[in-house]
Structure 1
């Protein structure tokens, strides 16, 4: 038989109304009494009615996570699966429910951010979508629901004060290139992508800065462009194989393109890492599925997810909505075989 608030009141030697206030975290009850009542409730497996709590506190205890539409593609799924999992895990540890959605309903084209805010389905939003239209920006600016950007900062907000947690993409491009240069490679190219969100532009800027710091000249012909897919990395190499005659290292700005590039290099009789060193970016699972294992820049998704969720919960509990935080987390280089590291 399920335990009731009346049973808990009897065990705790308090009134039933006191039990109710404890379960709803009322400021009218001392912390000592709350802890004692909650402990008894937990020990006896009391199932608190979360819906009743949400009505009384005007809270849903649900966080909306807005994923980018690129997740529908294979390369997007490979990249964002870990981001999604880490965010959900962090929120569940904080005892929040999670509602995962996309910026736009694929079938009705309805704006899901507007829907979640208008219907008051969530207490806060974590947004990983880099492209927002003017209507959505207006909705976010006018809402009382706290939101935070994770990984991407839409261009509209780059000059505005807004909460944001991301990876230092510039540093990632820098350390990847710096590693190759310190290994003695002087003739290096990079494979980038024209992609919404600006992260590839920052990686390219890091590439350029590292070259300058090693007293090497940057030329626009040193950067080639794919579309983030395995096939595009493969095709860049195939289409430009004659230009690689004196090249000894390639910084490829995402892992799928890097794996595609390595496949094409092998077909062209170029050994990796013997003839050509390759560094990727992201550290997706496939990096250790094929030989040689890929040296790559790791984005610390677990740390970023934890900080994003922590910051959002702080905003939920704060009355100072004007205080904003922008956090850039440093990436790290994971050493594997594609640069000559033997495992």
Structure 2
């Protein structure tokens, strides 16, 4: 492998001149620059970009911590963020915490040691220790899909309260009167906000929430399946189910199928996230679409802005959701 000294010898210049040509740090005559570039090409010389970046205090890499890479929602968001970062000439290191706080903290330390320029942080719960560590070490960071009032950092979230309200209101306007909910883990902010939106929509319609119609899941299909089984075995089962993500809604669809209950003729089911698979279930799943393209683009933009301007005031962006009506819900007569 060629060295910078060999390039300098072949071009008949100093090592310092070669360095200036590579890093554009000082004026070099056109003739000298051509000799250096020609020597680099002839020797197939490749500058050590990592070492050069470290000397400048930057690596042009960002870290991305997601809570569950097996969840299609987070997988798609991560893909869009990586694509956006790549456009800005940044590489992305993806870390999956598996909803494990210890793993989340470990990956936070790994990214700090890798000297990433910034971190996009999607926490696995309501623990803020990892985020506080980033703030303490002055690592440019942004929180996505979560909001922590205790830590003053940039954040981008979709309006989960509005989304929960929108889903429930759709079922109310479709004349359903026994609306169940399969909520996510209570320690996750989006899940709680969607649940509060559900409760508010019922209250605004003059309806009361029934404890028997409130079940909890873990955002995976099996938990939605089990929760729906319990709901459908009630003496007075629901005529509609709002599952707080699409994977649990898909589990609920399967439970209804096994119980011989027709969706949507006998039971309406609505999900949340609008993952790609939602359009291909049978029946196709009505759901709340999060603006993942805008969320990914804005998150990367704010992080890069934070890297360039570390002292600017934190920004908090809230994005609206959209109802996507498909075949799993219907208006009762």
Length-normalised TM-score, structure 2: 0.80
Any idea what the Cα deviations from partners look like across 1:65-97, whole Å, max 9, x if unmatched?
1122x33xxxx4333211211111110011101
Length-normalised TM-score, structure 1: 0.78
Q: 1:133 to 1:203 in 2, by over 3 A?
A: closer
CA RMSD of aligned residues (A): 3.3
**Who is 1:33 aligned against?**
none
| Superposed displacement of residue 115, structure 1 | 3.0
Q: Distance in 2 between matches of 1:205 and 1:263?
A: 26
The answer to whether residue 130 in structure 2 is matched with residue 140 in structure 1 is: no
Q: 1:116 to 1:266 in 2, by over 3 A?
A: closer
Q: 1:240 to 1:135 in 2, by over 3 A?
A: closer
**Who is 1:151 aligned against?**
145
The answer to whether residue 269 in structure 2 is matched with residue 275 in structure 1 is: no
Decide whether the 8 Å contact of 2:162 with 2:320 is kept in 1. yes
**Who is 2:293 aligned against?**
302
The answer to whether residue 41 in structure 2 is matched with residue 60 in structure 1 is: no
Q: Distance in 2 between matches of 1:82 and 1:310?
A: 18
SS of the aligned residue for 2:133 comes to: helix
Q: Distance in 2 between matches of 1:134 and 1:81?
A: 23
Pairs aligned (count):
306
Q: Distance in 2 between matches of 1:194 and 1:145?
A: 29
Q: Distance in 2 between matches of 1:241 and 1:120?
A: 50
**Who is 2:171 aligned against?**
180
Any idea what the Cα deviations from partners look like across 1:84-127, whole Å, max 9, x if unmatched?
111111100111011112459x9x9672212322x352011111
| Superposed displacement of residue 165, structure 1 | 0.7
Q: 1:116 to 1:20 in 2, by over 3 A?
A: same
The answer to whether residue 132 in structure 2 is matched with residue 113 in structure 1 is: no
SS of the aligned residue for 2:295 comes to: helix
**Who is 1:82 aligned against?**
76
The answer to whether residue 87 in structure 2 is matched with residue 93 in structure 1 is: yes
Q: Distance in 2 between matches of 1:133 and 1:237?
A: 29
Q: 1:19 to 1:309 in 2, by over 3 A?
A: same
Which structure 2 residues correspond to residues 1-343 of structure 1 after superposition, within 5 A?
Answer: 19-20=21-22, 22=24, 50-51=49-50, 53-68=52-67, 70-71=68-69, 76-102=70-96, 111-117=106-112, 119-131=113-125, 136-153=130-147, 157-243=148-234, 245=236, 247-321=238-312, 323-340=313-330
Q: Distance in 1 between matches of 2:231 and 2:273?
A: 24
**Who is 1:32 aligned against?**
none
Q: Distance in 1 between matches of 2:320 and 2:235?
A: 31
Q: 1:132 to 1:261 in 2, by over 3 A?
A: closer
Q: Distance in 1 between matches of 2:218 and 2:133?
A: 31
Any idea what the Cα deviations from partners look like across 1:116-160, whole Å, max 9, x if unmatched?
22x35201111112347675344223212211111123xxx3234
